Chain A
Amino acid sequence: MLKVWKKVIATGNVTEPWEKSVPPERSRGEVVVQNVPCKGCTLCVNVCPTNAIKLIEGSPVINQKACVFCGLCVDSCQDGCLKQTSNYKLATLGGSLADNTGSELKNKIRRVLGRSLHIRHLDIGSCNGCDFEMNHVCNPVYDIQQYGIDFVASPRHADLLMVTGPVTRNSTQALMMTYEATPTPKLVMALGACACSGDQIFGESYAIRGAVDSFVPVDIYVPGCPPRPQAIIHGLMLALDRM
């Protein structure tokens, strides 16, 4: 027991504010389109493993929900039309939260859930990368509990479902039953490129049924493959209007 106390005291406080830590130089985040004329060679389109990039009106457009930040498109472009950044703040709001006019539901959700939020994890097809990052936001460095946010054991205790993976055939029933079991008002977060985009990551498959929002309404999209812990916290803060 003494050793345990000694270790606790020696370690001290390791928690850091999520926005303070700077991603390392090589960190791969959002790919942005530069203001350079595109020659329409489609090299980037062909190289993208998730079909996230398209040429629209002669210039590349990236579907952030399906991008895995691999950077292959950036490497392929001879003309420097694309640039990889380390930006991870890519969460967007969907469903009732996206509505700028301040719907009643949105206000209600933020009022009710703004101070304390209970999350239920739901893995319906992920590679476990997203799930492990979700786990990591509970580690002492990110310590998500400091924001009044916590993970709970049952959907019946949850305000938000954090869903990872594309919806597979085999877990569709679990998704629907868990959604039904969660009391209202409830939020759904699609965590990771798979959950946000469906079969774009793994490709068309007999075993994948689609993205989370083709089954249940999604309020927060957090892209990334997987999103870094800070990206997950950013998504939550955005949803709760606590930025």
Chain B
Amino acid sequence: MKNYKTIPAAELRETAYELYGDGQNGLMSMFANDERQLNGYYAIYCLFSVGKSMQVIKAVLKEKAKLEFPSITPKISGAAWYEREIYDMFGLKPVGHPDLRPLALHENWPQGIFPLRKDFNSKTPVPTAKKEFPMAGVEGEGVFTVPVGPIHAGIIEPGHFRFSQAGEDIIRLDAKLFFLHRGIEKAIEGAPIERAFYQVERISGICTVAHSLSYCHAIENIAVVTVPPRAQYLRALVGEMERLYNHVGDIGNLCAGMGFAVGIMAGARLKEDIMRVNEALTGHRFLRGMVVPGGVRLDINDQLSAEITEMLDKLMPDFKEMIELFIGNDAFLNRVETTGIVPRQAALDLGVVGVGARASGVDVDIRRDFPYGCYSSLKFDVPVYTSGDVAARLWVRVDEVAQTVNLIRQILAKMPQGPLKTAIPAIKPYSSGFGWCESPQGNNIHWLMVGENNTVYRLYARAAAYPNWPALTVAAPGNIIPDFPLINKSYELSYACVDR
């Protein structure tokens, strides 16, 4: 995985298109790095999944050359956001990109300052600009726009949506995110990797374990250390607990999209039971404080193991009854079936991952496809549905709950004895590599370059929600606004993960 195919930036399009084929080999991630201090260039990395392997193109732009590269978005739609972000953060222009509006930096950010360049100092005060932020819409007779957010009616993260409406029907949706942009990737530059971990663990609350794992995997891959088997199992345990509480809560929450209070409350109650076990297990309801670079911080004993099993034994029949509230309920099914369809091709083009992908007939799961930790010794199925609608995303989650419960039981049964942690040795400066894991929302990929004395030189954190957000703009058109909350909740994408 450390073999990068290095090419001049001018050849990026050709090389990427070749690797992409006609879409058989998806783009998994794309980001830039300022390596001028090391070798005099900026680098753009593109990660593709090619059959059973991952391949990386590294396109380099000499410091003195024109800071632009041929955009790959025209053929690879999934690259659209990645390229916009590279332009925002580094000022490297993707020539031929169809929509070069800023992404992470809003209208308050002045022109010509690129925060992820190494010569930008975080302490420099940046004046507040007052630019326009154009939202994309549709014009025509009878067409009107409905602006929504960033502050929404419920308890939910901020984002701004612009619906172009023809009567009740949505004809176009444009989204402006990154209100939660905290600049974490820059803030941790120069920090020791083991300390920066605590910021990474806080990228998102509900993806705590996922971000921790990807980050630790990256460190461990670069340092070539193997985490002790018991730690691998404990990590898988908290990873699956994270999936479990998220899925159960999200299924309940979907009911909020249609005001079905009994469903909402059933989901919330079951989620609370799981979160209490999370706290008993790790001391933290969101499972913080278990995973650390090199292994885990806490062990479990028989009593905790029994507590988890007891919770699962109680959860499953209760969960089944909750699902029965929907399965036989025509009013419910009418709302979710054929609503918010994302066709398989669109999911492939955008590089959609996780539940969203599996509901649109794309059979991906990074736990199975690129196994990490103890997953190759665990048995599980990856549920796939093909209708691509809200219902399919609901049923994928329902099936995954059963799979996850099963996985937790296997993990507890097979838990090996042994130490909990391996020390992270001194890492050769400027080594880099990837770490990944399957979060409840899909694969989560980090890329880390370590600097001097085991510090962070550059971290790129690509959460599952990042490639999935654009799928909402495909799912919404053709539906009525009252169905949007349902469509949105069927994806249940974290904003904080994307904004970071």
Q: Which residues of A contact B (CB under 8 A)?
A: 3-4, 7-8, 10-11, 14, 23-28, 47, 49-50, 68, 70-71, 121-136, 138-141, 151, 153-155, 165-166, 168-174, 178, 199, 201-208, 225-226, 228
Q: Please determine whether B496 and A11 come into contact, CB atoms closer than 8 angstroms.
A: no
Q: Is the interface of B mostly helix, strand, loop or mixed?
A: loop
Q: Please determine whether A70 and B199 come into contact, CB atoms closer than 8 angstroms.
A: no
Name the CB-closest residue of B to A178. B151
Q: Please determine whether A141 and B202 come into contact, CB atoms closer than 8 angstroms.
A: no
Inter-chain contacts of A11 with B (CB < 8 A):
266, 269
CB distance from B452 to the nearest CB of A (A): 18
Task: Report the bound CA distance from A80 to B29 in whole Å.
Answer: 46
Q: Please determine whether A25 and B280 come into contact, CB atoms closer than 8 angstroms.
A: yes
B141 CB-CB contact with A under 8 Å: no
Task: Report the bound CA distance from A71 to B292 in whole Å.
Answer: 13
Q: Please determine whether B122 and A136 come into contact, CB atoms closer than 8 angstroms.
A: no
| B window 315-372: CB within 8 A of A | 321-322, 324-325, 328-329
CB distance from B182 to the nearest CB of A (A): 5
| B window 286-334: CB within 8 A of A | 286, 288-289, 298, 321-322, 324-325, 328-329
CB distance from A172 to the nearest CB of B (A): 7
**Contact A206/B272 with A128-B204, A171-B150, A226-B205 known, Cβ cut-off 8 Å:** no
Given A125-B180, A127-B205, A228-B285, 12 more contacts at CB 8 Å?
Answer: A70-B289, A121-B154, A122-B151, A124-B179, A124-B180, A127-B496, A131-B156, A136-B275, A170-B105, A170-B178, A173-B108, A204-B123
Q: Please determine whether B153 and A154 come into contact, CB atoms closer than 8 angstroms.
A: yes
Q: Given B122, B206, B322, which contacts A204 in the complex, CB threshold below 8 Å?
A: B122
Name the CB-closest residue of A to B246. A132
Q: Please determine whether A130 and B153 come into contact, CB atoms closer than 8 angstroms.
A: no
| B window 177-191: CB within 8 A of A | 178-184, 186-188, 191
**Contact A140/B265 with A26-B282, A153-B154, A171-B180 known, Cβ cut-off 8 Å:** yes
Inter-chain contacts of A123 with B (CB < 8 A):
156-158, 180
CB distance from B61 to the nearest CB of A (A): 23
CB distance from B466 to the nearest CB of A (A): 15
**Contact A226/B286 with A23-B279, A153-B154 known, Cβ cut-off 8 Å:** yes
Inter-chain contacts of B494 with A (CB < 8 A):
128
Q: Given A129, A206, A228, which contacts B126 in the complex, CB threshold below 8 Å?
A: A206
Name the CB-closest residue of B to A226. B205
B495 CB-CB contact with A under 8 Å: yes
Q: Please determine whether A203 and B187 come into contact, CB atoms closer than 8 angstroms.
A: yes
Inter-chain contacts of A132 with B (CB < 8 A):
205-206, 286
Task: Report the bound CA distance from A46 to B194 in whole Å.
Answer: 12
Q: Please determine whether A14 and B269 come into contact, CB atoms closer than 8 angstroms.
A: yes
**Contact A174/B262 with A25-B280, A202-B184 known, Cβ cut-off 8 Å:** no
Inter-chain contacts of A206 with B (CB < 8 A):
115, 120, 122, 124, 126, 183, 186
Task: Report the bound CA distance from A26 to B205 in whole Å.
Answer: 19
Task: Report the bound CA distance from A132 to B184 in whole Å.
Answer: 21
Task: Report the bound CA distance from A178 to B179 in whole Å.
Answer: 15
CB distance from A18 to the nearest CB of B (A): 13
Task: Report the bound CA distance from A47 to B292 in whole Å.
Answer: 14
**Contact A26/B108 with A123-B157, A128-B205, A130-B205 known, Cβ cut-off 8 Å:** no
B17 CB-CB contact with A under 8 Å: no
Q: Please determine whether A28 and B289 come into contact, CB atoms closer than 8 angstroms.
A: yes
Q: Please determine whether B180 and A135 come into contact, CB atoms closer than 8 angstroms.
A: no
Q: Please determine whether B182 and A202 come into contact, CB atoms closer than 8 angstroms.
A: yes
